[in-house]
Amino acid sequence: MNKKTESTFDKFMKDKKQKELFDKDYNKFILSEFLLDAMKEKHLSVRKLSEQSGVSTSIIQNIKTEKTSNVTLNTVHALASSLGYRINFEKISQRI
């Protein structure tokens, strides 16, 4: 009998509230990592990125440290464009 054991993570993700929290925090983490990597690649400081993008230094700093939870698409677009990136939307399968 070769029964696959469910991982703690799988059990955690079955709980709708826990999954929502994970998704929210994961999205903040990914945005922060993107910003840190792109700024490092371009050798840009927070102040310089702020000047180029029109996004305040405090918002950029909050994104870098994952202290913000409500970043607008316009903000992400301005930052991405200033860093030489473009936002793409990709259709995914429907969630159950």
Q: Where are the domains of the chain?
A: 13-82
Rounded average pLDDT over 4-17: 84
Using CA of residue 68, residue 61, residue 59, residue 90, what is the dihedral sign?
negative
**Confidence check: pLDDT of 2 > 70:** no
Q: Which long-range contacts (CB under 8 A, 24 or more apart) does 55-62 make?
A: 55/79, 60/35
pLDDT at residue 10 in the model: 83
What architecture is the 13-82 domain classified under in CATH? Orthogonal Bundle (1.10)
Could you read off the pLDDT of 42-51 as tens digits, one per residue? Answer: 999 999 999 9
pLDDT tier for residue 88 given thresholds of 50, 70 and 90: very high
Rounded average pLDDT over 47-62: 97
Reported in sequence order, the residue ranges of 1-96 that DSSP labels E, i.e. its strands, are: none
